[in-house]
C-alpha cells in the first residue's frame, strides 16, 4: 500500500509534532508515524519546560534578555563544540516559534521568570526568564484521542494526579504549614477525585503531558494524520534524495512518499542497549543505565539516517542529558524509574558515595550532579550514590518516590526502596555505606548547616540552588542539620532525560552527510538531532526548546521548497541564520507571525 503526502514525520514528541503542526499550518499534507501505541514520546513524560532565550512569554512578564548574552552563554557552555550555525538559527527563530505556536495553535505557555539558568554566574548566564513551561490542559479537549496520549510516569504522580512544576508543587510541599496551600490542595484533590469518578483518570494535564497534549490537539485540528503503531523500517532514497519511508504497521507494510521531505524525530537512543554500551561510560554491560524514556526510543531515527549517508555526532563530552534516578519497585513485580530533580536542593539532604563522603553540591543541576558522580566513582566500578536525610526532612519534603507527611512511608521501607535506621551507623551498615565515613561527613555538614555556609561544596550559593531550596530556612534555603532520627537513605544511579549525540544538522534542520552537505529531503528535530548545547546542560528545557524551534524551522523550510528533485534549493522566507538580519532593536528578535495557509 502506498500513501502520498508532502511531509512525513517519524516520531511524535515535541520535535515531531512541532514540525507536523507548523507544516500543516503552511498548507502541507502531513503524516506522523509513531512506532508505539501512544503519542507524545519522551515529551509526555517530561517536566514540560522549554529553554528559549528572548521568548515573548517571559518578555510579557517583564524579563529583559538579549541575543548577545544568550549567545555568549551558549558559547561558554558548549566550549569546543559550539555550533554557530545552529545556535544562531535557534536564537533567531526560537522566539518566533513560540509566538507562532501561541497564536496559531492550542499551545500556551506560562512564564517561569524566577527559574534560573543552571550556571547563572557564567558569562551570559541569567538568574531567570529563559525557561517557560506548558500551561495546564484539560484532557477532555482531546476527546477520544486521549486514549492515544502517552500517560505520565506513574512515579511522578500522586494517586494519578499530575502536579504542575513550580507554584503548584510548592503548595503541595506547604500543605501542612499554610492555610492558603491547604485550600489550594483541597480544591485540586477534590477536582481530581471527581475526574476519577467520572472519567476513571485525572483530566487536568500538566508539565510535559500538557505540552504533548496541546501539540497533539493542534496537529489534529490542522488535519495531520497521526498513525500509531507505525514504525519506520527504511528511508526511500531516489537520485540521492529522501522521498519517503517504508513503515511497518498493524495492517502490514506501507510505503509513504513525501514530496517535500522526511523529518526524523524518533527520540534518540536512550533505550538502545548496543548504542549505549558504546557511548555511555557507565553502561558497558547494557544494563547499568536506568532511563525513564519510552521503551520504543531505540535509536531508529539514527539507524535510518546512517543508512541514508548521514553523519552522526558522538564526540560530545556527554552523550546524554544525565539525571540521578532511583529504581522504584512496583506492585506488579516490575519497577519504575524516579528522576531526582529538586529533592537534592532541599535543606537537610546530602549525597554520599559508598565510602560515606560527599562529592558534589547536591543542589546543582541533575546533569552536573551526575558528572560529579562520574568523576568521583572508581573506574570500572558501579556508579552510584546515596541520598541521606533525617526524619524531619522526610516528613516535610519526602525523598524521591517517598511522599511527605501525611502519606505513610512503611510501604517504601518494606519494599527496600527506602532504607531506615535509628542511627547513622546502622543506616550506613544497612545501605552499604562506610559507617565511620558517613558519621564524619554528617558531623562536618551539620557544623556548616548551622552556620549557613557549605564550606565543602557551596550548596545554596547560586540562584538556581536557592530556587529549588526552601525560603523558610535561613540564612541558607538549602541547608539544615541532619540530626533527628530515624535516618533514611535512597540509592541513586544514572539515568537520562534524552540523548545529546545524534545526527549532524545545519541551521535549517537539514541532516548533513559526512562531507557536511545537506541530504536532500531529510530533516531532524528533537533528540535525533545532535544537541546544539555541545553535550552540556545550560538550563531547564534545553531539549524541548530546540525541539520545538527546529521542528518549526524544518517545516518552514520544507514549505518554501518545490516538490521533487529541485527541492532544498530555496531559502524559506524569514529563515536567515544571520543574527544581524534576524535581530530587532537591542539584539532581540522581533517575533513574526506566519501568514495563514
Whether 25 maps to a domain, the answer reads yes
Round to whole Å and give the CA distance between 132 and 95: 11
Residue 436: strand, helix, or coil: helix
Rounded to the nearest integer, the mean pLDDT of the chain is: 92
In this predicted model, what pLDDT tens digit does every residue of 160-186 receive, in sequence order?
888 877 777 788 877 777 888 888 888
Percent of the chain clearing pLDDT 90 (strictly above): 82
User: Are 264 and 119 in a shared domain?
Assistant: yes
Round to whole Å and give the CA distance between 555 and 508: 9
Whether 309 maps to a domain, the answer reads yes
Helix 14-25 crosses helix 84-104 at what angle (to 10 degrees)?
Answer: 60
pLDDT at 448 over 90: yes
CA 211 to chain centre: 12
**Strands 241-249 and 252-264: what pairing?**
antiparallel
Quick one: pLDDT at residue 180?
87
In this predicted model, what pLDDT tens digit does every residue of 123-135 receive, in sequence order?
999 999 999 999 9
pTM: predicted TM-score of the whole model, two decimal places: 0.92
- In the predicted model, what is the mean pLDDT of residues 493-501? 96
- Burial class of 74 by CB neighbour count within 10 A (0 to 12, 13 to 18, 19+): buried
251 or 86, greater pLDDT: 86
Which three cell numbers mark 543?
531539549
* Number of domains the chain is built from: 2
583 or 308, greater pLDDT: 308
Round to whole Å and give the CA distance between 417 and 402: 9
Whether 54 maps to a domain, the answer reads yes
In this predicted model, what pLDDT tens digit does every residue of 321-343 receive, in sequence order?
999 999 999 988 889 999 999 99
Whether 591 maps to a domain, the answer reads no
Whether 523 maps to a domain, the answer reads yes
In this predicted model, what pLDDT tens digit does every residue of 227-275 receive, in sequence order?
999 999 999 999 999 999 999 998 999 999 999 999 999 999 999 999 9
CA distances from 530 to 18, 46, 519 (A): 17, 19, 16
User: Are 120 and 262 in a shared domain?
Assistant: yes
User: Are 520 and 383 in a shared domain?
Assistant: no
**Strands 161-162 and 157-158: what pairing?**
antiparallel
User: Are 107 and 89 in a shared domain?
Assistant: yes
pLDDT at 570 over 70: no
Structural domain including 396 reads 321-496
CA 151 to chain centre: 16
User: Are 285 and 366 in a shared domain?
Assistant: no
User: Are 391 and 337 in a shared domain?
Assistant: yes
User: Are 114 and 253 in a shared domain?
Assistant: yes
User: Are 385 and 248 in a shared domain?
Assistant: no
Asked if residues 576 and 96 have their Cβ atoms less than 8 Å apart, the reply is no
Asked if residues 30 and 9 have their Cβ atoms less than 8 Å apart, the reply is yes
For residue 452, what is the domain's CATH number? 3.90.700.10
Domain boundary among 444, 479, 496: 496
User: Are 342 and 239 in a shared domain?
Assistant: no
Quick one: pLDDT at residue 102?
98
User: Are 313 and 412 in a shared domain?
Assistant: no
For residue 512, what is the domain's CATH number? 3.50.50.60
- In the predicted model, what is the mean pLDDT of residues 565-575? 56
Whether 182 maps to a domain, the answer reads no
User: Are 485 and 513 in a shared domain?
Assistant: no
User: Are 301 and 364 in a shared domain?
Assistant: no
Whether 439 maps to a domain, the answer reads yes
Between 117-121, 465-469, 557-561, 569-573, the lowest mean confidence (pLDDT) is in 569-573
Between 182-186, 294-298, 347-351, the lowest mean confidence (pLDDT) is in 182-186
Quick one: pLDDT at residue 573?
57
Whether 20 maps to a domain, the answer reads yes
Which three cell numbers mark 412?
517504601
Exposure of 413 in the CB half-sphere (CA atoms within 13 A): 12
In this predicted model, what pLDDT tens digit does every residue of 384-426 receive, in sequence order?
999 999 999 999 999 999 999 989 999 999 999 999 999 999 9
Quick one: pLDDT at residue 182?
86
pLDDT at 594 over 80: no
568 — pLDDT class (breaks 50, 70, 90): low
Quick one: pLDDT at residue 569?
52
- Burial class of 197 by CB neighbour count within 10 A (0 to 12, 13 to 18, 19+): exposed
Domain boundary among 433, 465, 496: 496
Amino acid at each position: 500500500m502506498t500513501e502520498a503526502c508532502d511531509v512525513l514525520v517519524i516520531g511524535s514528541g515535541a520535535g515531531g509534532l512541532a514540525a507536523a503542526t507548523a507544516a500543516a499550518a503552511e498548507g502541507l499534507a502531513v503524516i506522523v508515524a509513531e512506532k508505539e501505541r501512544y503519542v507524545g514520546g519522551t515529551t509526555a513524560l517530561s517536566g514540560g519546560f522549554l529553554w528559549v532565550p528572548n521568548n515573548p512569554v517571559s518578555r510579557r512578564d517583564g524579563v529583559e534578555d538579549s541575543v548577545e548574552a544568550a549567545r555568549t552563554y551558549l558559547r561558554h557552555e558548549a566550549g569546543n563544540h559550539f555550533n554557530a550555525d545552529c545556535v544562531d538559527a535557534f536564537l533567531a527563530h526560537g522566539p518566533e516559534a513560540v509566538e507562532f505556536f501561541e497564536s496559531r495553535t492550542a499551545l500556551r505557555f506560562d512564564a517561569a521568570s524566577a527559574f534560573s539558568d543552571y550556571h547563572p554566574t557564567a558569562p551570559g548566564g541569567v538568574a531567570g526568564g529563559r525557561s517557560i513551561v506548558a500551561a495546564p490542559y484539560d484532557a477532555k479537549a482531546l476527546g477520544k484521542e486521549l486514549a492515544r496520549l502517552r500517560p505520565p510516569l506513574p512515579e511522578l504522580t500522586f494517586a494519578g494526579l499530575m502536579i504542575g512544576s513550580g507554584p503548584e508543587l510548592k503548595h503541595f510541599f506547604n500543605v501542612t504549614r499554610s492555610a492558603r496551600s491547604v485550600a489550594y490542595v483541597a480544591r485540586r484533590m477534590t477536582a481530581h477525585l471527581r475526574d476519577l469518578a467520572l472519567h476513571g483518570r485525572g483530566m487536568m494535564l500538566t508539565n510535559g503531558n500538557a505540552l504533548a497534549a496541546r501539540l497533539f490537539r493542534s496537529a489534529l485540528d490542522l488535519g495531520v494524520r497521526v498513525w500509531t503503531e507505525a514504525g519506520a523500517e527504511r528511508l526511500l532514497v531516489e537520485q540521492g534524495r529522501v522521498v519517503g519511508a517504508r513503515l511497518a504497521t498493524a495492517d502490514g507494510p506501507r510505503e509513504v512518499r513525501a514530496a517535500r521531505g522526511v523529518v526524523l524525530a524518533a527520540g534518540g537512543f536512550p533505550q538502545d542497549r548496543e548504542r549505549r554500551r558504546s557511548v555511555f561510560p557507565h553502561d558497558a554491560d547494557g544494563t547499568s543505565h536506568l532511563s525513564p524514556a519510552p521503551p520504543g526510543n531505540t535509536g531508529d531515527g539514527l539507524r535510518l539516517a546512517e543508512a541514508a549517508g548521514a553523519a552522526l555526532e558522538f564526540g560530545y563530552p556527554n552523550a546524554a542529558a544525565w539525571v540521578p534516578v532511583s529504581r522504584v519497585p512496583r506492585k506488579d513485580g516490575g519497577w519504575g524509574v524516579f528522576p531526582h530533580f529538586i529533592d537534592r536542593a532541599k535543606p537537610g539532604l546530602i549525597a554520599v558515595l559508598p565510602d560515606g563522603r560527599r562529592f558534589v553540591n547536591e543542589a546543582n543541576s541533575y546533569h552536573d550532579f551526575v558528572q560529579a558522580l562520574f568523576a568521583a566513582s572508581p573506574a570500572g566500578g558501579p556508579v552510584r550514590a546515596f541520598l541521606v536525610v533525617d526524619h524531619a526532612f522526610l516528613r516535610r519534603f519526602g525523598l524521591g518516590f517517598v511522599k511527605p507527611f501525611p502519606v505513610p512511608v512503611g510501604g517504601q521501607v518494606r519494599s527496600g526502596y527506602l532504607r531506615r535506621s535509628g542511627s547513622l551507623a546502622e543506616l550506613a551498615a544497612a545501605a552499604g555505606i562506610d559507617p565511620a565515613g558517613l558519621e564524619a561527613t554528617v558531623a562536618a555538614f551539620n557544623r556548616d548547616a548551622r552556620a549557613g555556609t557549605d564550606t565543602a561544596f557551596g550548596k545554596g550559593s547560586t540562584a538556581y540552588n536557592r530556587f529549588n531550596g526552601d525560603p523558610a530556612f535561613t540564612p541558607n534555603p538549602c541547608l539544615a542539620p541532619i540530626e533527628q532520627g530515624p535516618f533514611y537513605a535512597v540509592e541513586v544511579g544514572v539515568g537520562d532525560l534524552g540523548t545529546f549525540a545524534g545526527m549532524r544538522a545545519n541551521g535549517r534542520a537539514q541532516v548533513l552527510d559526512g562531507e557536511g552537505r545537506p541530504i536532500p529531503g531529510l530533516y531532524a528535530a528533537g533528540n535525533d538531532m545532535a544537541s546544539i548545547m555541545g553535550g552540556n546542560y545550560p538550563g531547564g528545557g534545553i531539549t524541548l526548546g530546540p525541539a520545538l524551534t527546529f521542528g518549526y524551522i524544518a517545516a518552514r523550510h520544507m514549505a518554501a521548497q518545490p516538490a521533487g528533485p529541485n527541492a532544498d534549493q530555496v531559502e524559506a522566507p524569514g529563515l536567515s541564520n544571520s543574527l544581524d538580519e534576524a535581530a530587532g532593536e537591542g539584539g532581540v528578535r522581533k517575533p513574526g507571525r506566519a501568514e495563514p495557509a
